[in-house]
Amino acid sequence: MYSFLKLYLYPLSLLLIIGLFYWSFGYDLERTESVKLIGLATALFALSYQVLNITTAHFTSKGNTLIFRMLLVAGVIYRILLFAGTPELSQDFYRYIWDGHLLIHQINPYIHLPKDIIVTVDQLVPNAAYLFEKMGELSQKHYSNYPPISQYIYGLAAYVGGDSIPKSILVFKVIVLLADLFIVGLSSRILAFLGQPQWKVFYYFLNPLVIVELSGNLHLEGVMIAFFLGGIWALIKLQNHIKYQLEQIQGVAATGPYKTKQTHYQKKWLFLSGCLIALSIMTKLIPILFLPFLLLPLGIRKTIILGGWIGLCAGIFWGPLLEDGFWSSYLETIGLWFNNFEFNASIYNLVKSIAMENGHSAYRSILTYGKILPFLIIGTALLVFFWQWRQMVHLQNTPHRAISVRLKNLVHPYFKGFPRVLEISINSMLFMFTGHLLVATTVHPWYLSFGVALAIFTRLKYAYLWSGTVFLSYITYSDPKFKENLWVIAIEYVLVFGFLFYEIVKLKRLKSESVKNV
């Protein structure tokens, strides 16, 4: 009896309390109430972790269906609880609806500034003046920067909602919910392929940041993640077929460099993967950062083919929006993220503080930093790619000096233990994502959603901690002038990267001990 109550009654009670906190988050909170906001976020993270700590201990290797369904239903209910609420922590959704109405009226949101066309579209776009006012001055004077799939979703929400903003909001929330359910299904299959427990998916699905920022504040990171994981699953299906081919060849056990004839079945999955990854990139641009880390598991030939399908699919969806003036306006908007916008940054804030101590202005600091930021991102990618290469070398047990063997494996990838190869690649993507945010000038809380999704396939947990500490950044909005408190930001990053360092040291120690015991 006690074991039953502990297994179901206690976590169910906690899940109920969590639901009440989400209700408060959605209907009884303003962005300026930083103490209440951080208190609610802390409580949600603590209780959610406690629920996962209790329930996941009872999962068997095959998974406990009842517990899985209980946690799944809880995550769905929390999202539905927020359906009737209007986002308070972000005003971006007003711009989403604005762009959507422009799109369905065949006005290109990439080449028209809201401040320039507000008078023209006032009678054409429902609630135009209200949307214009609520999107904020910053959004009013800049072109739209959201890629085409996001724009088409905005158009759908605007079309279905018509002149009702709440209806448009509801469309967004339904889409985000469906995307998160797809993520659960895909993640469960990928985790099973990697030989990891499927309950780890709830570190994403029950993560308060994911629920609040995506379902609550209508950011489409979940749609991006769903498409990207779909692309990864298609690559798994591709590699499983290659493995099957190799095992049919006498004397080959799928353990060496391979070269197989590409069948229709393989072409189909490579095409599907390319299309899904393209859709992910065209929802948000972030997945572009991860493409280099598919080279080692796929090889040069398949990577080029995959890139071709990504480019073709992207061209099809970008095409209708490419008009005169598109490239200049879009590149100008993207450039703002390098040399104009700043929020919750780590390295950049440190550099800016040092520069200002030496007499440089904040504006001059971000302009200078913005010029070197692309090189910092490229440098980060090269370092992470080198780490991935080294991990593949250890996996293949290839001597350091066997450069010719390693180069050959770029063309015909080494197939020994593809699940481990994929895990290394996902780790590389997580490190690249972390490095990108580390050098970025803008790190909004919802950006962390992708990091949380990638982390469930690794042994690292720092992304979960970061998804909690990032709520400290909302203290900025309690200041009437939106001035950041650098001490608060410092606390956020010291905690996160201190824990990351601890995890890396711990994993190295465990690895060295396992080697000694062999």
Asked if residue 99 is part of any domain, the answer here is: yes
Q: Tell which residue, 344, 342, 322, 343, has the closest CA to residue 331.
A: 322
Q: Is 333 helix (H, G, I), strand (E, B) or coil?
A: helix
Residue 329 domain-assigned? no
Q: Is 471 left (phi over 0), alpha (psi -120 to 50) or beta?
A: alpha
What's the structural domain count of the chain?
A: 1
* Exposure b/e, 92-129, CB count within 10 A at least 16 = b: bbbbbbbbbbbbeeebbbbbbebeebbeebeeebbbbe
pLDDT of 252 strictly over 50: no
The answer as to whether 133 is a domain residue is yes
Single pTM value for the model:
0.92
Residues in CB range of 502: below 8 A, 6 or more apart: none
pLDDT digits (tens, 9 = 90+) for 441-454: 999 999 999 999 99
Q: What is the pLDDT of residue 61?
A: 45
| DSSP SS3 for 190 | helix
Element (H, E) at 453: helix 448-455
Is residue 182 predicted with pLDDT exceeding 90? Answer: yes
Q: Look at the chain and count its residues.
A: 518
Averaged confidence pLDDT in the chain? 87
Is 118 within the bounds of a domain? Answer: yes
pLDDT at residue 240, rounded to an integer: 78
Query: For residue 131, what are the domain limits?
Result: 92-163
Residue 65 pLDDT grade (very low, low, confident, very high; cuts 50, 70, 90) = confident
Residues 412, 295 contacting (CB under 8 angstroms)? no
Burial of 291 (0-12, 13-18, 19+ CB in 10 A): middle
Whether residue 102 lies inside any domain: the answer is: yes
- Alpha carbon 264 to its chain centroid, in Å, reads 32
* Euclidean distance between CA atoms 177 and 179, whole angstroms: 5
Amino acid identity, residue 118?
I
pLDDT digits (tens, 9 = 90+) for 481-508: 788 888 999 999 999 999 999 998 888 7
Burial classification of residue 446, based on how many CB atoms lie within 10 Å of its CB (0-12 exposed, 13-18 middle, 19 or more buried): buried
Q: 250 pLDDT exceeds 50?
A: no
Least confident segment among 23-27, 76-80, 295-299: 295-299
What DSSP character marks residue 459?
S
Residue 177 CA to residue 362 CA, distance in Å, equals 40
Residue 131 maps to a domain:
yes
Q: Is residue 122 part of a domain?
A: yes
- Inside any domain, residue 116: yes
